Amino acid sequence: MNLLSKLKFILKKPKVIIITGEGREYTKKSIFQVLNRHPEAGKDVLLSESDLKNPQDIEELKFLIDKSSLFILVLNHAADSPSYLPKMMSAGGWFVLNFDDETARETDGAAIKTLTFGFKEGADFRATDINVNGGTNFKINHKGNTVPVWLDGICDKEQIYSALAAACVGTILGLNLIEISQALKNN
C-alpha cells in the first residue's frame, strides 16, 4: 500500500474483512454476495483474501488492524495460516473461526471477540440437515434460531463452510439470518 493509499484509508477508516486459509476465494465470494445484496452492511468495507505468508502482507495487515473502524479476520483452516494471527488482533476486532478445525479452536478465547462456524456441536453458526437434490440446502443454527439456506448446484463441505463464514460476517455487520439466507440463495 503506497503512502497516498494509506492516507485515504486513514481518512476513510473503512471496515476491513480479511479471509485466510483454504477455500478463501470461495469464502470471499460468499461474503461479497451477502454484502452486495445489503448495501447498508457493505458500505465502506474493504474485503480481501490473503495467505498472509510474506512479510509485506503482514505489515499491511498490522496497518489495516490499527487504522480500520472495524476489523474482521476470517480463518477457514488454522493449519493453513500463521499461528501469530490472534496475537496481532486488536480488542475491537473479530475473529471468525472454523470450529471443526481443532487448531482454530485453540485460538478461540483470545482477547478478541470470536464467532465460530462448522458442522460440529458447539459452533456458534452450525450447519445441519444437509440435503443434496439438484441443489444443496441446509439449515443454519445460531442461538436457538434455525434458518434454511439454498445453494445452487451440488456443493461440497468447503462451500458450506464459506456460507457459514458469510453468515458470521453478515451478523457482525448487523444483518439477520433471513437476510443472509436470501443473499446466499443466488450463490
Q: Please answer whether residues 99 and 116 qualify as being in contact, where contact means their C-beta atoms are separated by less than 8 angstroms.
A: yes
| 3-state SS string for 81-142 | CCCCHHHHCCCCCEEEEECCCHHHHHHCCCCCEEEEEECCCCCCEEEEEEEECCEEEEEEEE
User: Which pLDDT score is estimated for 52?
Assistant: 81
What is the separation of C-alpha 159 from the centre of its chain, rounded to a whole number of angstroms?
A: 13
User: Which pLDDT score is estimated for 92?
Assistant: 75
Q: Residue 180 sits in a domain of what CATH number? A: 3.40.1190.10
User: Which pLDDT score is estimated for 93?
Assistant: 87
User: Which pLDDT score is estimated for 110?
Assistant: 55
Q: Which residues of the chain have pLDDT under 50?
A: none
Number of domains in the chain: 1
Domain that holds residue 167: 3-185
What is the separation of C-alpha 150 from the centre of its chain, rounded to a whole number of angstroms?
A: 19
